[in-house]
Amino acid sequence: MSNILVAGGAGYIGSHTCLDLFSKGHTPVVYDNLSNGHAEFVKWGPLEVGDIRDRSRLDQVLAKYRPQAIIHFAAAIEVAESVQDPAAYYDNNVGGTITLLRAAQAAGINKIVFSSTCATYGIPQSIPMDEAHAQAPINPYGRSKLIVEQILKDLDRHQGFRSFVLRYFNAAGADPEGRIGEWHSPETHAIPIALDAALGRRPHFQVLGTDYDTRDGSCVRDFVHVLDLADAHTRAVEHLLDNGTSHALNLGTGNGTTVKELVDTIRRVVGKSFEVKYGPRREGDSPALVADNGLARRTIGWSPRHDLSAIIDTAWNWHANYLPG
């Protein structure tokens, strides 16, 4: 059984990854400042409260648990917020990651799985997007993640610090047993906002942008179940523990869904209607983001197991029955 430090492990994807790690024999040690995460989500290993920019705290935790590898989720993630305050995103996502990496090196750790994003690609030049697609992010969030990817390449090239970069598309869904799920405040993601509208917690759902060059004018997104993402993170860390080489992989289903199609699917799966309004585009959004996941399948044997209906069904179960309110 390996101790794995999970920075940001009290958050949405991080907590589901802790569940997956534990189910496969590892001990996830959660390191989280709880600015966006929830202590209630730390159920499968110890919680150490701390910020990735706090070197002395990191040194304490790494010395205490001596993890064999790190999975790094600790980041600010909202595109619109990054446009409003770019410096904050670079401070946390880049500066904090550098501090985490230096602490890891000092502790003799040379393996990290990094939570990256399809936002590093920017405007798609082809759909679906594979890992050879040009990386030209159009918002500070995506640029902050790309900078970290480049740092990790240099550490691998010059110091043998191995990394597994996972660029995932739109995470959604929840643990089917309702133990954890998506819980953001404020919520900015499409599926939980639409489910709140279906539950009467919001007056309506708003489609942001109707004039994109897509089949119905709304954005196209590739929704991937959070448990599938968790499985990929465990596979990636086990690859590194087995002395595997560094990689950067896309995680998505390969199926694009427009926002209007998403609304129709939610109405069908949950059996409820809700009001939909239409608004202007949101700054920093790409018109379409769909993954080519072939390299992930070939490299770590990963493929998504949940379709969009299953994603919505598990999210509905969480939001209707378990989400703290």
Taking the C-alpha atoms of residue 39 and residue 36, their distance in angstroms, rounded to an integer, is 10
For residue 138, how many other CB atoms are within 10 A of its CB? 17
Q: What is the mean pLDDT of the chain?
A: 96
Tokens of 134: 């040009």
pLDDT interval class at 221 (50, 70, 90): very high
Catalytic residue positions?
141
Q: Is 281 exposed, middle or buried (0-12, 13-18, 19+ CB in 10 A)?
A: middle
pLDDT of residue 9: 98
Q: Would you list the domain boundaries of the chain? A: 3-172+225-251, 190-221+254-321
* 325 has pLDDT over 80: no
pLDDT of residue 286: 82
3-state helix, strand and coil shares in percent for the chain, rounded to the nearest 5: 40, 20, 40
* 91 has pLDDT over 80: yes
pTM comes to: 0.95
pLDDT of residue 185: 84
pLDDT interval class at 158 (50, 70, 90): very high
Best CA proximity match to 107, nearest among 74, 145, 64: 64
Q: What is the H or E stretch that residue 20 is in? A: helix 12-23
Q: In CATH, what is the architecture of 190-221+254-321? A: Alpha-Beta Complex (3.90)
Q: With beta carbons less than 8 A apart as the criterion, state whether 205 and 275 touch.
A: yes
Question: How many residues appear in the chain?
Answer: 325
pLDDT of residue 187: 87
pLDDT of residue 186: 85
Q: What is the pLDDT of residues 104-140, one digit of tens each?
A: 999 999 999 999 999 999 989 999 999 999 999 999 9
Tokens 């179960």 locate to 317
Q: What is the pLDDT of residues 281-309, one digit of tens each?
A: 987 788 899 999 999 999 999 999 999 99
Q: Which fold has domain 3-172+225-251?
A: Rossmann fold (3.40.50)
Q: How far is CA 124 from CA 102, 111, 150, 280, in A?
A: 34, 30, 20, 20
pLDDT of residue 79: 82
Q: What is the pLDDT of residues 39-84, one digit of tens each?
A: 999 999 999 999 999 999 999 999 999 999 999 999 988 888 899 9
pLDDT of residue 284: 72
pLDDT of residue 282: 84
pLDDT of residue 312: 98
pLDDT of residue 78: 84
Taking the C-alpha atoms of residue 123 and residue 281, their distance in angstroms, rounded to an integer, is 14
Residue 244 DSSP label: P
Which residue spans within 99-222 are E strands per DSSP?
Answer: 111-117, 162-168, 170-172, 205-208, 220-221
